[in-house]
Structure 1
Amino acid sequence: MTSQHLTDEIRAVVEERWDETLRTLTELVAINGIAWPSFDREPLERSADAVATLLRDLGFDDVDIVAETVTHDGEVVLGGPAVLAQRPAAPGKPTVLLYAHHDVQPVGDRNLWESEPFVAEQRGDRLYGRGAADDKAGIMVHLTAAAVLSQVLGADHGLGIRFFIEGEEEAGSPTFRPFLERHRDRLEADAIIVADSSNWKIGVPALTTSLRGLVDGIIGVRVLNHAVHSGMYGGPILDAPTVLARLIATLHDSSGAVAIKGLEAQHSTSLDYPEVDFRRDSSAVDGLELAGNGPLADRLWNQPALSIIGTDIPSIEMSSNTLLPTARAKFSLRLGPGQEPHQAFAALKAHVEEQDLGGAEVFIEAGEFGQPFLTDVSDPSAQKMLKALETAWGIAPVEAGMGGSIPFTADLREVFPQASILITGVEDPDSRAHSANESLHLGEFKNAIVAEALFLADLAES
């Protein structure tokens, strides 16, 4: 079969299966499986069951649902249910591991949604719903590409295929590393496709070649042993939120760049990200001055970024005339490739403890640590994926970094050092993953399926 014939066959089969693919994705979106401990676990287990059934229907006999347990601070933590499936490789053929996750983010403020979050609704060329893009579309890319491969090359194509559909990614993958180590024999592969990222823009695919690392945690201050009346004691004593605000203000310099000694970019990119595109993609308000220095792509992918993502301060509705004794804020610190997360936290801790806050007590607690990631694009599997993306979209893909973090990629690299890790995705800048009105561009979704099927076919015929 010539390359063009193979491409045409794959496109035709993807079209043939399209209605079924959308119907199945719609059914998955309807399951509100959230892995956070504060949510009902039953929908999460139902979500895993649905994925397992789809894999059995695809012809995989060796399918299991597994939930790992770990002990954290003396408590036994039950991880989210993951779905494992495998079909062994024929002698001399490689094995590929297909990763995605079936758990989703909470809905958030329901009033911000224009349609029911767990009812997939097509409007124009987009499919709306929680998980439609992140990451149930990733599951469907894997399932459909594997089905297309068997239909085009025959069920005896010989490529080894393994599925790992995680059930706790949105909760930080708390049992991921022990899960990899315990089930190593069912996960080992020559190539690992992580379908949980984004493309450059509609019409332009991307292979994600770098990810920032992550450190999060809590910083806080204490100024009183208990709350007191703001009228009777206010003036000589600054309330804790005000002191905390002064502390937070020291984390960035006048340009908005992170002002913590020891946090620097160690890599750079030549890729241009036009400011007009960034403003549109990020929904920045008119006139907002962008923070930091250097090329936008470096500010997004290679330089550190520190955000305050939550505070323990009473809402306006619940406020009273009280000097608050303590205030806390949760920080999220993103790190460029090459920056070690524990060293970064030590630098942040030193910065916080060095500030002069007039004798207020300061504390800082570490939360999650995630290693950054960098791809070797000269790797043969990476070259095959770049070729598949270009064929599917009809345009050269971008080798892009991502400002976000997928901490478990470092675990995959450490446990499976021989594997090529390829990060792909179906999202685009307007998918709004984790936000209200999350959506999937159906044209990009279709191209992603074609690209993965082409990649698998290339591996199978190697």
Structure 2
Amino acid sequence: MTRADAIARAHHELHSGAFLAELDRRVAFQTESQNPERGDVLRAYLEQDLQPAFSKLDFTTRLIESPGGKGPYLLAEYKESSSAPTVLMYGHGDVVDGMVGEWRDNLDPWRTTTVGNRVYGRGTADNKGQHSINLSALRAVREARGGRLGFNAKFIVETGEEIGSPDLRQVCESLRDELSADLFLASDGPRLSAERPTLFLGCRGGIRIHLDVNLREGSHHSGNWGGVLANPATILASAIATLVDGNGRLLVEQLKPPRLSNQIRAALADVKIEPMPDEPALSDNWGEEGLSAAERLYAWNTLEVLAMSAGNIDKTANAIPGRAQAVLQLRFVVGTKVDNIADVIRAHLHGKGFPMIEVQATQRFAASRTDLESPWVNWTAESIRKTTGKAPAVLPNFGGSLPNDVFSDALGLPTMWVPHSYPGCSQHAPDEHILLSVTEEALGIMAGLFWDLGEMPRALSSAASHGA
């Protein structure tokens, strides 16, 4: 059998209906990790579905309990040769709320429904569809090699990614020896576009910034008190305007990342952000000046206002509110100093005349990325190009946040993420879906990667494999 045979077998998984049947079975598990009543379902997904699936591939499996009492973890391992490369893979079996009743044509989020090129269902894009693609590709390569993979493989599946992966680092550090590998290879998040295969090496970090202005109890008539009572909503809006301007540009130097390196600029030079017709158009004159859209999204920091509140917008009274609050989010790249970010913002606002604003930083995600000079970057990109005939977009990091730092920093592995979704997939929203066209290409990409990994006599050098 050949590389082409393995890829053909992976494509057959889709054409035969086997892949979609498997995905439908997995989507049916209502694994909402934000719902405290779904604990048994999270465990059942691992025990009843994934453990048997891995066993058929000759992986040994065991469940790891969460030290914090959250959902369990599945550790699967396949050993073939001490001299062969070892790859560590990752996926998450939990999903966000199903949002029953909010989907188009009243679709059931807990079953897959194919409409044209789209396959709808909660978890199809994030992340059941993606780790199912990787499992199917493993199966195709194993069959093509007559029951062998040609490399050693480990897979960790968590059930708490949608609640911030609260115990993942602790669990992985406790399993450091068991999770040792030459390469981390996983799939989550969207490609650059549906048409272009993508490789990203890490993720931006994220911190939520809570701003609260509490001036008094209750509201007071705007006619009787307007002009003599300070308005917390006005204060809050003015304060935010000193952090980020009306074009989304950062105004505080400490919130900005280090200067873009020539290496990062070169990596993003051919990356075009081109939304599909059903995706939002890029805003003109928005974001940092002098940067391309790709540099703004993948190599710069942004401060976004996620929510604001003052008074009752649905039942507006002619009254000055007593309090106002906002939640902002700083998305940041590697090199940004964020350890004391709340103090930085508090000091800035105090200096601008807003000492009454309370500042709190919560829900932190670390920024991390593998060094672009890692030999695994070119190896992965070349394998994808060989399979698809397309040069993949190589992104220094994903625009969003993932627990990449657990693998790149805590475990010290070069991290390669090959996503199988696309920006318009509606993850975390009603109508979540994957595209059949992307799924077919992704099955081939992963089969090609796994085949090429099995052709290696030994792992690539890990020198200079990851960055801070």
TM-score normalised by structure 1 residue count: 0.88
Q: Does the 8 Å contact 2:201/2:398 carry over to 1?
A: no
1:288-437 equivalences under 5 Å are 289-293=285-289, 294-313=291-310, 315-317=312-314, 319-357=316-354, 361-402=356-397, 404-417=399-412, 419-437=413-431
Identity %, equivalent residues: 23
1:207 equivalent among 177, 199, 204: 199
SS at the partner of 2:178? Answer: helix
C-alpha change, 1:385 and 1:202, in structure 2 (3 Å) is same
**More moved, 400-409 vs 209-218:** 400-409
Residue 10 of structure 1 corresponds to which residue in structure 2?
Answer: 6
- Partners in 1 of 2:384 and 2:342 — Cα distance? 37
2:135 equivalent among 136, 139, 143: 143
SS at the partner of 1:414? Answer: helix
SS at the partner of 2:417? Answer: strand
How far did 1:161 drift? 1.1
> Alpha carbon RMSD of aligned pairs, Å?
2.6
Does 2:78 correspond to 1:87?
Answer: yes
- Partners in 2 of 1:159 and 1:445 — Cα distance? 24
SS at the partner of 2:255? Answer: coil
In structure 2, give the amino acid aligned to 1:420. P
Residue 52 of structure 1 corresponds to which residue in structure 2?
Answer: 50
- Partners in 2 of 1:299 and 1:11 — Cα distance? 36
Residue 100 of structure 1 corresponds to which residue in structure 2?
Answer: 91
- Partners in 2 of 1:63 and 1:309 — Cα distance? 41
In structure 2, give the amino acid aligned to 1:404. G
1:240 equivalent among 214, 232, 235: 232
Q: Does the 8 Å contact 2:425/2:433 carry over to 1?
A: yes
Does 2:445 correspond to 1:448?
Answer: no
Q: Does the 8 Å contact 1:241/1:327 carry over to 2?
A: yes
Residue 153 of structure 1 corresponds to which residue in structure 2?
Answer: 145
C-alpha change, 1:209 and 1:329, in structure 2 (3 Å) is same
How far did 1:30 drift? 2.2
Report the number of matched residues.
446
In structure 2, give the amino acid aligned to 1:85. A
In structure 1, give the amino acid aligned to 2:3. T
Q: Does the 8 Å contact 2:201/2:415 carry over to 1?
A: no
C-alpha change, 1:157 and 1:102, in structure 2 (3 Å) is closer
In structure 2, give the amino acid aligned to 1:81. P
- Partners in 2 of 1:173 and 1:444 — Cα distance? 27
Residue 170 of structure 2 corresponds to which residue in structure 1?
Answer: 178
TM-score normalised by structure 2 residue count: 0.87
In structure 2, give the amino acid aligned to 1:97. L
Does 2:187 correspond to 1:189?
Answer: no
C-alpha change, 1:403 and 1:61, in structure 2 (3 Å) is closer
Does 2:110 correspond to 1:118?
Answer: yes
How far did 1:426 drift? 0.5
Q: Does the 8 Å contact 1:197/1:208 carry over to 2?
A: no
Q: Does the 8 Å contact 1:342/1:369 carry over to 2?
A: no
Runs of 4+ with >6 A deviation: none
Residue 75 of structure 1 corresponds to which residue in structure 2?
Answer: none
- Partners in 1 of 2:272 and 2:141 — Cα distance? 38
C-alpha change, 1:272 and 1:381, in structure 2 (3 Å) is closer
SS at the partner of 1:365? Answer: strand
- Partners in 2 of 1:44 and 1:312 — Cα distance? 35
How far did 1:313 drift? 4.3
C-alpha change, 1:454 and 1:80, in structure 2 (3 Å) is same
How far did 1:178 drift? 0.7
In structure 2, give the amino acid aligned to 1:394. G
SS at the partner of 1:150? Answer: helix
- Partners in 2 of 1:203 and 1:47 — Cα distance? 32
C-alpha change, 1:141 and 1:397, in structure 2 (3 Å) is same
Q: Deviations over 1:349-384 (max 9, x none)?
A: 332333324x6x211111122222222344333222
In structure 2, give the amino acid aligned to 1:55. A
In structure 1, give the amino acid aligned to 2:120. Y
- Partners in 1 of 2:160 and 2:99 — Cα distance? 18
Structure 1 gap segments, 5+ residues each: 71-77
Does 2:28 correspond to 1:33?
Answer: no
Residue 41 of structure 2 corresponds to which residue in structure 1?
Answer: 43
In structure 2, give the amino acid aligned to 1:342. D
Structure 2 gap segments, 5+ residues each: 457-468
- Partners in 2 of 1:243 and 1:131 — Cα distance? 41
Q: Does the 8 Å contact 2:10/2:447 carry over to 1?
A: no
Q: Deviations over 1:131-161 (max 9, x none)?
A: 1111111211221122112101132445211
C-alpha change, 1:158 and 1:8, in structure 2 (3 Å) is closer
C-alpha change, 1:259 and 1:100, in structure 2 (3 Å) is same
SS at the partner of 2:314? Answer: helix
SS at the partner of 1:184? Answer: coil
SS at the partner of 2:9? Answer: helix
Q: Does the 8 Å contact 1:65/1:84 carry over to 2?
A: yes
In structure 1, give the amino acid aligned to 2:27. V
How far did 1:119 drift? 2.3
SS at the partner of 2:361? Answer: strand
Q: Does the 8 Å contact 1:196/1:423 carry over to 2?
A: yes
C-alpha change, 1:113 and 1:183, in structure 2 (3 Å) is farther
SS at the partner of 1:181? Answer: helix
